């Protein structure tokens, strides 16, 4: 009876751990996407464009592609400053690499990494880029599914430990209890 309760509790505990860990990734991705839209919004404002739309983000390998409704001109200084502020306030995951391309060409026109910002080594500052249909590409280090499985395993370890402890203690109690004496006298 007691063992059944323990297994039920352990089952619910492990189920909840798995359920919560499955929800963490979409929540984290959603938060990143909101911050990237914030980055793009600030980028447009710094470029003097308060009318253009930020098109829906496109997920690419280990990152996102951000396109804008209209051609825009920008200063690399302001883009680096905006990204630096968001990284400083932990609103962008660090490390990252940001590059600017155009809609018509995958060639990188401008780019930097979060490390460049931290070291104060942002390239090509002081130049204004001409108006074009720019695309902002931001990449984050690859994460593996092993991280998720490791987290689940580590979270389940206390439950497994509790189960083993309970089984061992129960066995010891059963071994220590004296056997019931049977009444051999028939009366």
pLDDT tens string, the chain, 187 residues long: the values are: 556 666 666 566 666 665 555 555 566 788 889 999 999 999 999 999 999 999 999 999 889 999 999 999 999 989 999 998 888 877 778 899 999 999 999 999 999 999 998 888 888 778 889 999 999 999 988 765 556 666 666 667 777 777 777 777 777 777 776 666 655 555 5
Q: Are 40 and 136 in contact (CB under 8 A)?
A: yes
Which distant-in-sequence residues (6+ apart) come within 8 Å of 139 by Cβ?
60, 61, 62, 63, 96, 97, 98, 99
Q: How many CA atoms are closer than 13 Å to the CA of 95, on its beta-carbon side?
A: 12
Helices (H), 47-138: 76-88, 114-119
The Cα 35–Cα 86 span in angstroms is 8
């Amino acid at each position: 009876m007691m063992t059944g309760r323990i297994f039920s509790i352990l089952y619910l505990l492990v189920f909840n751990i798995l359920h919560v860990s499955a929800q963490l990734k979409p929540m984290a991705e959603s938060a990143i996407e909101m911050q990237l839209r914030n980055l793009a919004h600030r980028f447009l404002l710094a470029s003097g464009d308060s009318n253009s739309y930020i098109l829906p983000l496109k997920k690419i390998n280990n990152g996102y592609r951000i396109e804008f409704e209209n051609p825009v001109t920008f200063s690399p200084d302001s883009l680096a400053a905006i990204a630096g502020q968001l990284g400083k306030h932990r609103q962008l995951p660090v490390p990252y690499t940001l590059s600017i391309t155009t809609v018509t060409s995958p060639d990188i026109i401008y780019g930097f990494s979060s490390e460049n910002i931290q070291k104060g080594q942002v390239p090509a500052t002081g130049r204004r880029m001409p108006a074009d249909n720019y695309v902002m590409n931001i990449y984050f280090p690859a994460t593996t599914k092993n991280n998720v499985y490791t987290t689940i395993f580590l979270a389940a370890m206390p439950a497994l430990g509790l189960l083993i402890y309970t089984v061992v203690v129960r066995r010891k109690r059963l071994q220590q209890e004296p056997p019931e004496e049977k009444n051999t006298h028939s009366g």
